Chain A
Amino acid sequence: MSDISGQRIRQLILEQSKRANVGHIGSALSIADIMAVLFDGVLRGAPDSSERDRFVLSKGHAALALYAALHCLNVLSREQLATYCQDGSQLGTHPEYELTGIDFSTGSLGQGLSMGIGAALAARLDGSDRRVFVLLSDAECNEGSIWEGVMFAAQHKLSNLVVIIDDNGQQAMGKTQDVLNLRPFAARWGAFGWRTVDVDGHDTAALHEALNTTLAASAETSVPTVIIANTQAGYGVSYMQGQVRWHYMPMNDQEYQQALSEVASRS
């Protein structure tokens, strides 16, 4: 029985970020609840099964949240997780295919959707009911290649493809609305022919429902779905929430203690 929750993923993110003294904490915390839901029964199949559903963490800089989820499922051992960002480790700040449980290497933004589309096309050609989930960051949609994929997936009616946008409103150097405003996502993706769902990205019940409804609908619709998850960068840690500096900064001891205590108190 797996022991996975947004809270546990957040604790692991904080613990490993502190031990390794690295950043990208805000981006990882932003998707902790999404990862908890995806890896709690939505994604099917063992990591070594060719018939498994595929997951692409296109926003690769949040890999620690993915490692934490894989650890919760016992795909990654405690010892492996503890090598995060150590010399010679397979666990860098961006995920690599060589590691069991990682379907695609990512880290260069804008590439994951196309990979997911290829995986979805392959499933269709195989006559398989494999599904593909791609998690994008909102700012990643600045990349033109994302829109190449958006057009293609709708044209080819890839209803076995589900995209989740981590719409936390922040990017590396500022707020997304100040850099390149892509909101409202639903109107834009909808105009390209996608089914769109808006959801609170920290409400796991709502996320479960959005995904279940989507997967039920995918049997009947002939379009791909995008779930726009309204999230906060640094969610769960008051001083990180909505603060651009936590895209990059590591925590000092005091910050770490406060973060741990805040995350522990929020069930």
Chain B
Amino acid sequence: MRKVFIQTLIEIAEHDRRVVLLTADLGFMVLEPFVKAYPDRFYNIGVAEANMMGIATGMAEAGYIPFVYSIATFASMRAYEQLRDGPILHHLPVRVAGIGGGFEYGNSGVTHYSLEDIGIMRTQPGLQTIVPADPAQTVSAVQQTYQLPGPIYYRIGKNDNLTVPGLNGRFRLNTVETIGDGRDLLILATGAISAEAVKAAESLAQQGVSCTVAVVSTLQPDSTAELAALLGGFSTAITVEAHFINGGLGSLVAETIAENGINCRLIRCGVRSMPSGVSGSEAYMNQLYELTAEHIVQKSLAHLQTTKVHLA
């Protein structure tokens, strides 16, 4: 999604001179097209995320729309206080692009696994938190939101060849995009892992379980109204996220169910421990933390069967 993100930025920058791009020395082989197109509107700040966020604040106060770019862990955490005291507190249109959610940085290891960014961003009122699921949705999401007042955090996946089948690039702010219309199970997913959710739904359909997949791309302010309406139609929902189990999509859905008194059992798939001392490819880590389509199917079936036995 990185390359289409930058391509989209180039297109936006062509007709909006307020757009500038800042990086903390990351994005080699990704940012070059923007640098070539707009050398005067690009700054490599150096390995200095805190300074980058403050600079973005100062530029936004003067009317610019700075995009700050880094790996999701550094973008979200190293300059978190600067983000809070800068763009959020001043209601300024800084766009933080955190690259690579979950285990997308694979063999780079735990310092590069972004497993809490959604949670910490979602706690800040006034910070839009947007997590596109695939490249096509990234284009729609950035085009539709970059002009919004106030700051935005985008969690942008690394994989430029990913497609979430049936999503077709759809994105609407503060709403949920659905794929399929099964009534047995609602699978909610956010980000690139949504592709696994769709795969799981296809597999479950072959086993007689009809599913609806909800791709939740706006995590803050949130998609509560739409989520509540959707959840009301299901007795069972399962959330899937490449993120710690607390603070992210699973928490948002649990809050929505509880606050709206919805009679829906929730199963949460996410990362339940700090992956220290182990690393591997994204596929390996997703397998280890039970975030594959197969795991989603297994957990769904196990729960649905238990429920049937219980009901009988």
Q: Which residues of A come within 8 Å of B, CB atoms?
A: 50, 54, 97, 103-108, 110-123, 125-126, 132, 144-145, 148-149, 151-152, 155-156
Given contacts A104-B61, A121-B43, A152-B46, are A114 and B54 in contact (CB under 8 A)?
yes
- A149 near B51 with CB under 8 A, answer yes
Given contacts A111-B82, A114-B82, are A148 and B58 in contact (CB under 8 A)?
no
Interface string of B45-75 (1 = CB under 8 A from A): 1101011111111111111101000000000
A119 to B64, CA, bound (A): 10
Q: Which residue of B lies closest to A106 (CB)?
A: B85
Q: For the complex formed, measure the closest distance between the CB of A194 and the CB atoms of chain B, giving whole angstroms.
A: 15
- A125 near B64 with CB under 8 A, answer yes
- A148 near B61 with CB under 8 A, answer no
Inter-chain residue pair count (beta carbon < 8 A): 102
Q: Does B172 contact A (CB under 8 A)?
A: no
- B90 near A117 with CB under 8 A, answer no
Q: Does B89 contact A (CB under 8 A)?
A: yes
Q: Does B141 contact A (CB under 8 A)?
A: no
Besides the known contacts A115-B54, A121-B55, 12 further A-B residue pairs in the complex with CB atoms under 8 A apart: A104-B58, A104-B61, A108-B85, A111-B54, A114-B53, A115-B58, A118-B55, A118-B61, A122-B58, A122-B59, A122-B61, A145-B50
Q: For the complex formed, measure the closest distance between the CB of A240 and the CB atoms of chain B, giving whole angstroms.
A: 29
- A114 near B51 with CB under 8 A, answer yes
Q: For the complex formed, measure the closest distance between the CB of B279 and the CB atoms of chain A, giving whole angstroms.
A: 28
Q: For the complex formed, measure the closest distance between the CB of B86 and the CB atoms of chain A, giving whole angstroms.
A: 7
Q: For the complex formed, measure the closest distance between the CB of B45 and the CB atoms of chain A, giving whole angstroms.
A: 6
Q: Which residue of B lies closest to A130 (CB)?
A: B62
23 contacts between A and B (CB under 8 A): A97-B90, A103-B61, A104-B58, A105-B89, A105-B90, A106-B85, A108-B81, A114-B55, A114-B57, A114-B58, A115-B54, A115-B58, A118-B56, A118-B58, A118-B66, A121-B55, A122-B58, A122-B64, A125-B64, A132-B58, A148-B51, A152-B48, A155-B46
Given contacts A108-B81, A111-B82, A113-B54, are A118 and B60 in contact (CB under 8 A)?
yes
A110 to B86, CA, bound (A): 12
> Is chain B's binding surface mostly helix, strand, loop or mixed?
helix
A122 to B20, CA, bound (A): 10
Question: Which of A115, A149, A155: most chain B CB closer than 10 A?
Answer: A115
Q: Which residue of B lies closest to A113 (CB)?
A: B54
Q: Which residue of B lies closest to A143 (CB)?
A: B50
Q: For the complex formed, measure the closest distance between the CB of B17 and the CB atoms of chain A, giving whole angstroms.
A: 9
Q: For the complex formed, measure the closest distance between the CB of A145 and the CB atoms of chain B, giving whole angstroms.
A: 4
A123 to B60, CA, bound (A): 11
Q: Which residue of B lies closest to A115 (CB)?
A: B58
Q: For the complex formed, measure the closest distance between the CB of B106 and the CB atoms of chain A, giving whole angstroms.
A: 29
- B63 near A122 with CB under 8 A, answer yes
- B54 near A125 with CB under 8 A, answer no
CB neighbours of A107 from chain B (8 A): 85
CB neighbours of B64 from chain A (8 A): 122, 125
Q: Does B40 contact A (CB under 8 A)?
A: yes
Question: Which of B46, B53, B58, B63: most chain A CB closer than 10 A?
Answer: B58
A118 to B94, CA, bound (A): 12
